[in-house]
Structure 1
Amino acid sequence: MYHTQGAHPAVHEGRSGTWFSVWAPNAREVCVVGDFNYWQHGAFYLNSSDSGVWWGFIPGVSAGAHYKYSIRTQWGTLIEKSDPYAFAAEIPPKTASIVADLSNFEWNDQEWMTKRRETDWFSKPISIYEVHLGSWKRPWDKRRYHTYAELAEMLIEHMHDMGFTHLQLMPITEFPFDGSWGYQPTGYFAPTSRFGTPKDFQLFIDALHRADISVLVDWVPGHFPTDAHGLGRFDGTALYEHEDPRMGFHPDWNTYIFNYGRNEVRSFLLSSARFWCDQYHIDGLRVDAVASMLYLDYSRNSGEWIPNPFGGRENLEAIQFLKDMNTSLHGEFPGILTIAEESTAWPGVSRPVYDGGLGFSAKWDMGWMNDTLRYLRRDPIYRSHHQNELSFRMVYAFTENFIMPLSHDEVVHGKGSLLSQMPGDEWQKFANLRLMFGYQSTIPGKTLIFMGDEIAQPQEWNHDSQIDWPLLEKPRHAGMQAYVRDLNKFVAAHPALHERDFTSDGFEWISGDDAANCVYAWCRFSADRSETLVIVLNMTPVPRHNYGIGVPELGYYREVFNSDAKRYGGGDVGNAGGVESLPVPSHGRAQSISITLAPLSLTIFKVEPSKTPMKPAAPAKAGPVSKK
């Protein structure tokens, strides 16, 4: 619909101007007002049609013009609305739409787009870096933001240095209130003008693609704000939302809920989803608040919601919308990712629509996030009583294609930063945080961390400020950055840690039940079994010497990664390069290794041919065979 609705510069009957088109079926009259007609209602009326669409051509209006729709309702009241299909908008708190032309941009990311279509992302390393553009870095003049061009240059350097593969932007669809972080959008087709123009955002994406970086954006089809210039009561009636507040108003966020059963609303949202992949070459959408869309009784008490026609709590219209969205996007744009923030046990979120699923590529594992943080917030002395909080994850790990998020939601609203949530003294806090990142990176699934976590920022995120980058002058914070960098690059370099993230044949428990010592151990395998890694976690501040674990085969187990390395801020407790396995049974296996585990540490071993091969046994002497 973005090709026909909204404002489009054109030449009509030999005259340059702009076509305007807007859906307002219950309006008495609709005018375009702007800086070209002194914002006066009646200066230019649009024509009406039987479909409820109002349209018209205004000569002399070109790209850059500011405008709104002035709508007279059925009751005679005049209201001014921003264009739902506008490609650009004024910088808040101003609310006018801006005529923009997206047709003349010359893309230079053809190599990336070809690669994207041909890539099986499920078998590739994915390390997502979640960023809020307004507070990642700020210029010395805090009255402005960095531009899209400035951000692209800095983010490319940081992403390459740190080994992140995917940049995930918190919502960049235009939004009026900074404190919503973009999750209450008013411009579903307009990148926020806080950082530049639509062309600037195209250049931003183009630059990241040429740097071999994938860009995902947060997209919010679950609800929209009640701001007077927005979609709410657009022509004086409930147009985009349900009339009944039991269906059309969200009690948690004081926002309107889309009417997914209305064809024009579905078309609006499906067009928006397609728009970002089509016009901006976005590599995927992370869909916000999917759980609130799936359930009619989400955050509602008895009597505050309306059952579906079958008496159930499932929002059948929203479910169909999500299926249609995923089917169309994956069909038209091979290689993109759609990711659901879905916090319940809804089955098949990341399974194909033809197999009964919702069709998303992947789903955030909110259960993993909650269990992990709850476990690691505990003083280690109590962890032995909660061993199953971490091991439980593997019971359901392959029911969906999971991304394990440590997102912005975990460092706001008084929760503190991830570092401040860790128990113990300063050394233990950093060791626990390294342990958590290591655990996240070595169990099956893809990973996401929020900006600032990679330097162990001690304060929770503030959207009005920036990440505390000067902390990198302190050894422990620099050590954390080095650790996250090495961890990302280690995962990318070792197929065993990314080729089989979504299938059970890439994982095998060694021990998940040693609650007395709070130790976990497992194996990861590459797709062809040419690489085997053994991962061991010590969740206590007590070093473990001569700790025996069963291993899958005889050989030399080279220590290839240790979170206690001195360069990360650890104590350099390790295994002197590696250990030989012995034919001593343990954990149901015929051979084992005896190792040293540093306190609060992750240690990874890689199986290699034995450095001291056993001598062949001497031939047996002839003689009677013992019956025993």
Structure 2
Amino acid sequence: MISSYDVYLFRQGRHNRISDKLGAHPSSAGGEAGTVFAVWAPNATAVSVIGDFNRWDAAADPLALRPDGSGIWEGFVPGVGKGALYKYHVASPGYRAEKGDPYALFWEIPPRTASIVWDTAYDWKDDTWMRTRGERHAPAEPLSIYEVHLGSWRRETTEPYLSLSYRELAEPLADYAVDMGFTHVEFMPVMEHPFYASWGYQTVGYYAPTSRYGTPQEFMHLIDHLHRRGIGVILDWVPSHFPLDDYGLAFFDGTHLYEHAHQIRGLHPEWTCNTFNHGRHEVRSFLISNALFWLEKYHADGLRVDAVSSMLYLDYARPAGTWLPNEQGGRENLESIAFLRRLTETVREHHPDTLVIAEEATAWPHVTGSVGSGGLGFSAKWNMGWMHDTLQYLALDPVHRQRHHNLLTFSIWYAFSERFILPLSHDEVVHGKSSLIGKMHGDRWQRFANLRLLFGYMFTHPGKKLLFMGGEIGQWSEWSHDTGIEWHLLDYAPHQGIRRYVQDVNRLYRSEPALHERDFSPEGFAWVDCCDTERSVIAYLRKGEDPEETLLVVCNFTPVPRYAYRVGVPAPGAWREVLNSDATEYGGSGVGNLGCVETDPVPFHGYPDSLPLTLPPLATLIFKHA
């Protein structure tokens, strides 16, 4: 039952679990089995439940408007249980609509649009994971994320839109993530969405995993299985905008309820969709409850918050003269900023062992700073600047790279201003941008070498890691949600080599404290040489808490092998070559240092000793003092 206190919290924007009250909940009121329905529609004049149980008759099961001014309509429909199809028939002056339930736990498979009475009962077996995940999410721990689109990761059929179910995905995806050395998978939005090609970023069913791949319990099984195999799960989450579909949130009760009423604020020009009115308290309750819902009911280990930049700025994707300033005359979206701070504070209060990650592409300060110090409170932020600069650099002919050396070195100037994740995400391999290997310059061999070089540079650069599926096998084609990953490429040695290299560099990243302990601290990095623009070589140290664990990284961004290339080091003696991206088992040419190099007492780069190295072409070398 909805209490007066529930109403108070809801209207204050502080009801963190309003989905326990609104929506459809099977019940046995007075000993009679049925379902309690409750929906927020404050401007409606009549609301009724329609479904397969009453032949979709709007007159059969009317709901009653609570007399407390909450705008909530509620009622008990006997005989309705789990699996029943339903919608709300909403009427207001000049308006009639059949709406899906904003709080529905399950929906029909699109293009059908009815909500389904369901529950979230499940016998979880991931106790060990849940007890220890806070330790795994500590800033000093490795975080290597494999980004996955569930509908196209692996297909067993050529039929369009048919893929493995949640249950069928569980074992092979867990096996693959473990084998490749990833710590987490990140699912592109699984929340119900009408248009498959939106990849879930146009969400209509915020409280329901898409029925395309199975039931809510089958999705729980997928997460449960991943947890039991030691793999965390991050969910993409879209609290910025929603689609215009008639049966969804848009114009829900004949008024702009969830979206801004003013078209300039309420309609997003880039995605042609509605934007949430984050200043409305009931909308905040809807969204923050939703965030906790996925963390609690589905044991998600984190949320990657989509399109944060579009929420922070009123002029985002809007030319001059087409946006409204805030009450202070500025471009900052004060309502959304307050919402984001409330979101991160609430998650931190209730689930401090989880992650809230911002996809934020601007220079907004202190995205990962605490709310108390004026920040937004996120656990981490995608480093879009590093991604753009690095991919731009590797697309250049090596002849010209010496004139763009700053694209490699600039990221360190701001690398510790936020807690960054280095993303090579789905956004970079779609819409004519080419695949990762397709972005690399050169002939076929050089493209593979450049891709290995990219991964070596990424995994040794400060910051946590994210890689979208397909990149780890050097897929030539852009990602397509209809065809999925070209796994047949693994029949060929160069693609096997890339996969083996990602596997090894992932394992090295996780096993070497210097590569992850101080990802967010300037004490974890030191340049040895960032100025060799002529030969396009960089050298740097990665440092952990123990000085004995220090690693030397040298990257040669030209296809020219370099012999007797001198690099200063902080300790004399033998330095073991722990990884060479040009090794033959990775598809390289096999140029290297025979596993180990002894220092010479030759001062260089400010150190009393130095190494005479052989630098393979287009390669990353990693050394550890022996």
- Whether the TM-score (by the shorter chain) exceeds 0.5 is yes
CA contact (8 A) 1:26 1:74 kept: no
Mapping 1:559-598, distance limit 5 Å: 559-598=577-616
Does the alignment pair 1:241 with 2:259?
Answer: yes
Closer, same or farther in 2 for the Cα pair 1:120/1:406, shift >3 Å? closer
1:52 equivalent among 71, 89, 107:
71
How far is 1:140 from its partner? Answer: 2.3
Root-mean-square deviation (CA, aligned residues, Å) is: 0.9
Code of the residue aligned with 1:246 in structure 2: it is I
Mapped partners of 2:325, 2:170: distance in 1: 47
Quick one: distance in 2 between partners of 1:245 and 1:529?
A: 58
Given that residues 33 and 69 in structure 1 are in contact (C-alpha distance below 8 angstroms), is that contact kept between their aligned partners in structure 2?
yes
Deviation per CA, 1:7-31: give whole Å up to 9, x if none: 0001001100000000000111001
5+ residue gaps, structure 2: 1-17
1:133 to 122, 137, 150: 150
In structure 2, what is the equivalent of residue 611 of structure 1?
Answer: none
Match for residue 122 of structure 2 among 86, 105, 108: 105
Q: State whether residues 137 and 354 of structure 2, in contact with CA within 8 Å, keep that contact through their aligned partners in structure 1.
A: no
State the partner residue of 2:496. 478
For residues 317 and 181 of structure 1, the distance between their equivalents in structure 2, rounded to whole angstroms, comes to 27
Shift of 1:579: 1.1
**Alignment match of 2:447 (pick from 429, 448, 454):** 429
Aligned-pair CA distance for 1:119: 3.9
Cα distance between partner residues in 1 of 2:321 and 2:263 = 12
Q: Deviations over 1:469-496 (max 9, x none)?
A: 0110000001110000011011111111
| TM-score, normalised via structure 2 length | 0.96
- Aligned: 1:67 with 2:73: no
Q: Distance in 1 between the 2:482 and 2:172 partners?
A: 19
1:531 corresponds to: 549
> Is 1:284 paired with 2:302?
yes
- Give, in angstroms, the shift of residue 235 of structure 1: 0.4
CA distance in 2, matches of 1:117, 1:542: 45
Q: Which residue of 2 aligns with 1:553?
A: 571
Inter-partner Cα distance in structure 1 for 2:498 and 2:135: 35
1:198 aligns with 2:208: no
Letter in structure 1 aligned against 2:114: A
1:599 is matched with 617
Shift of residue 121, structure 1, vs aligned partner:
2.6
Cα offset, 1:120, TM superposition: 4.6
Which residue does the alignment assign to 2:362? 344
- Separation (CA, whole Å) in 1 of partners of 2:408 and 2:470: 25
CA distance in 2, matches of 1:94, 1:326: 35
Partner of 2:314: 296
Report the Cα distance in structure 1 between the residues aligned to 2:137 and 2:246, rounded to whole angstroms: 44
Structure-1 separation of matches of 2:328 and 2:550: 51
2:175 maps to amino acid: E
Paired residue secondary structure (2:344): helix
| Matched pairs, number | 606
Question: What does residue 3 of structure 2 align with?
Answer: none
The equivalent residue for 2:186 is 168
Q: Judging changes above 3 Å, is the alpha-carbon distance between structure 1 residues 279 and 551 closer, same or farther for their aligned structure 2 residues?
A: same
1:96 aligns with 2:114: yes
Could you tell me how far 1:141 is from its partner in structure 2? 5.6
State the alpha-carbon separation in 1 of the partners of residues 96 and 520 from structure 2. Answer: 55
| Amino acid paired to 1:73 | S
SS in 2 for 1:55: strand
- 1:4 pairs with 2:21: yes
Cα offset for 1:214?
Answer: 0.2
The letter for the 1-side match of 2:46 is E
Of 58, 62, 66, the match for 1:41: 58
2: CA distance, partners of 1:400 / 1:474: 40
Alpha-carbon contact 2:65-2:73 (below 8 Å) kept: yes
Contact 1:548 1:595 in 2 (8 A): yes
| Distance across 2 between alignment mates of 1:605 and 1:167 | 29
Unaligned runs of 5+ in 1: 609-628
Q: Distance in 2 between matches of 1:208 and 1:466?
A: 21
SS at match of 2:555: strand
1:406-421, aligned counterparts within 5 Å? 406-421=424-439
What is the CA distance between 1:525 and its match in structure 2?
1.1
Letter in 2 for 1:41: A
> Partner of 2:548: helix, strand, or coil?
coil
Paired letter, 1:470: H
TM-score of the pair, normalised by structure 1: 0.96
What does residue 42 of structure 2 align with?
25
Give 1:530 shift: 2.6
Q: C-alpha distance in 1, partners of 2:316/2:263?
A: 13
CA contact (8 A) 2:86 2:114 kept: yes
Highest CA radius of gyration, 1 or 2?
Answer: 1
Shift >6 Å, 4+ stretches: none
Q: Secondary structure in 1 aligned to 2:19?
A: coil
Using the alignment, how far apart are the partners of 2:535 and 2:559 within structure 1? Answer: 10
| Structure 2 residue aligned with 1:625 | none
